[in-house]
Amino acid sequence: MQQFLSFTASGLTSAAIYALVASGLVLTYTTTGIFNFAQGAMAMVGAFTFWQFAEAWGWPAPVALVVCIGVIGPLQGLLVARMFQGLERTSDTVRLVATLGLLLGLIGVVHAIWDPSVRRSLDPFAEGRAVTVLDVRITYHQLLTMAVAVVVAAALWVLLRHTRTGVAMRAAVDNRSLATLNGARPALAGAIAWAIGSTLAVVSGILVAPTIELNALNLALLIVNAYGAAAIGRLRSLPWTFVGALVLGLTRDYAIWLRSDLPASVAPYLGGLSNAVPAIVLLVVLVLLPPAQLRTSTRAVRHEVLPKLTWSGTAITGVAVVVATALVIARLGATALLGAAGIWGIAIIGLSLVPLVGYAGQLSLAQLSFAGVGALAYAHLGWNHPLGLLWAALWGALAAACVALPAARLSGIYLALASGAFALLLEQWIFLLPEISIFGHPFTVFERGTMPVARPELLGWDLTGDRAYALYAAVVFSLCLALVVAVRRGTVGLRFVALKDAPAGLAATGTDAARTKLAAFALSGAIAGVGGAIAGGAATSISADGYGMFAGLPILLLMVVLGIRSPRAAIITGLVLGGSEVAADLPLGPLSSAFESGGVVQAMLIGVAAVAMARIPDGLLPELSNWARGRPWGRSGSARSRSVDVSGAPELVGLRTAATATELAALDHAIGLSSVRSTAGGARARG
């Protein structure tokens, strides 16, 4: 009984931290429509700043608290509000990537200021003082944490329900135009929400820092557990968000308690489950959410016309990739050759995002997890033949289907959270399982922590050498590029585009949107699985810690920053993220630091570029193309992008503008729009 009460007290403390973070998330989302994935990074900044004031500079703790909570927190929020100005008019993908970029950028800034190799810690408030309740010792720090959460809950409820500012904040996201007509100032309401959300993040960071080591990555990622609480509140209800935080905190700590009492024979299998509890809760909540209704907008929105990729351009790109690889590897050393092959593995994983995110508009944070499943299947197969890549593709597709099937009703940020929860589940539990028996056959997910990956042979051509394998990886990338282009030019690609641009219109034509979403995920997962197998072969081994959700974020960020609809963006992504060893052997001078894998410069550059997505939502490559043609920079994104008034029949207008004029006949054949077009045409004529 005493253990139960002890873990209940610690669970309530965890719940208080989750409530503070999740309430800031909900407040920002309900006001601006932006889900701030960088909330944990803001908490990290607050914790490190408080350490600098109180520990390094010796300020009195009350003074350091006042400065951090009263100055640093609001100022940080106002700066973010200024950087994200204009994101409300962009797509869910751009908003997601902007906040993820802020997360990565803040981690880079903290690492640049505070050396991550130096151990730091914060003492709890009123250290050593505690009260005893039912024979359970509860520290003053725990009591303070719970009290702060209760006060914040009451203050936010009063603010949003009983003040003019709170009403204006809630009205800003429901209908910005109507709120403006009634005298509200949505930009001001959004800035206030960001300031409050950032302040709550700083408070939570200061309160949680004494319980863990003051590590930038740990602090930034620990707050991910609060996403489940925000999801239980449906990103709009603060009372339910606090209930969700309570459920999440108690469930996690009870799971830790149960893990300590597990028999030795069971503990290795369920030991990692306690770490995955927040991800499991998040995934279950999202799957059980009521299905979102297909809604149409009444405001002007941006519709991008996706250019139809040509076979000639694809052939030129593929040949250039192979030839350039052959020329470069001829002068590389042994270490750099391993990186050369890895470039194309990362590029293939980046390419897998094009049909899913670029064409179908479905957000995924689990792409590297799909690649990990494919690499694992390929390693266990142990078949030294290129056709083994089909086995990796199959398992990558199955992993993606495991996300798409239960989350078929989800879209936007909910789908991104579901895919992230799936990735965390694999990373923190499934990939760490010991030996299990499948139909009487022993099976270990990652044998001895790592798995060797065989390199293939083809028709007597030995591809096990580093130079031969690098050239082989470039050929596989070119084939995957051709597959993506074939999908874009075919009927399936048209369905993907329609799913992104007008899901209501796609459903109105009788096409199963859920099946189309499943196809997009399966195709993307298959390509990612191939990329994982190629990258694993380049390194000759794989390990569980290489396929975490946050390890895959730079790939998603770079692809969107460069232009998620451009398959050629995958080439640059592979070069930037996988070219550190190659850059060391090439005369790049100061630019080599930008290629340092996981380096501070790389994190800051990617973060800054992602935050700039508010100005260039279509990506850097389309903007450069427009600039080269003499068009204004950052005005309307793609040269063919246009703003469409969808107040009449938005699902039909969006569906028609999703394709070029030469594709309309194929689109009609694909989803049967002939009768819909005639009906819409008659309506326009009558209007």
Instruction: Give the pLDDT of residue 651.
Output: 39
**pLDDT band, residue 663 (cuts 50/70/90):** very low
Q: Which amino acid is at 165?
A: T
The total number of residues shown for the chain amounts to: 687
- Give yes or no: residues 220 and 315 share one domain: no
Q: What is the pLDDT of residues 257-294, one digit of tens each?
A: 777 776 666 666 776 677 788 888 888 888 776 654 44
> Where does a domain end: 160, 191, 225?
225
121: phi then psi, degrees, rounded to nearest 5: -155, 155
Last residue of a domain, one of 574, 601, 628: 601
Q: What percent of the chain has pLDDT over 70?
A: 77
Note whether 199 and 319 are same-domain residues.
no
In tens, the pLDDT along 529-579 reads 999 999 999 888 888 888 888 888 889 988 988 888 888 899 999 988 887
Task: Report helix, strand and coil shares of the chain as percent, to nearest 5.
Answer: 70, 5, 25
Does one domain contain both 512 and 390? yes
Task: Give the largest CA-CA distance in the chain.
Answer: 79
The torsion defined by the Cα of 411, 415, 417 and 418, in degrees rounded to 10, comes to 140
How many angstroms separate the CA atoms of 118 and 116, rounded?
A: 5
pLDDT digit string, tens, across residues 53-69 = 999 999 999 999 999 99
In a domain, 296, yes or no: no
pLDDT value at position 301? 45
pLDDT digits (tens, 9 = 90+) for 141-168: 889 999 999 999 889 888 877 787 777 7
Long-range CB contacts for residues 619-628, cutoff 8 Å, separation at least 24? 619/560, 619/561, 619/562, 619/563, 619/564, 619/565, 619/566, 619/569, 620/561, 620/562, 620/563, 621/562, 621/563, 621/566, 621/568, 621/569, 622/563, 622/565, 622/566
617 is a domain residue: no
The pLDDT value given to residue 78: 93
Whether 651 maps to a domain, the answer reads no
| Domain final position from 575, 601, 627 | 601
DSSP tag of 388: H
Residues 323 and 186 in one domain: no
pLDDT at 665 over 70: no
- Its pTM stands at 0.83
Q: Could you report how far apart the first and last alpha carbons of the chain are, in Å?
A: 73
Same domain, 215 and 331: no
Tally of domains in the chain: 2
Whether 189 maps to a domain, the answer reads yes
Residue 333 has pLDDT above 50, yes or no: yes
Full domain range(s) for residue 564: 311-601
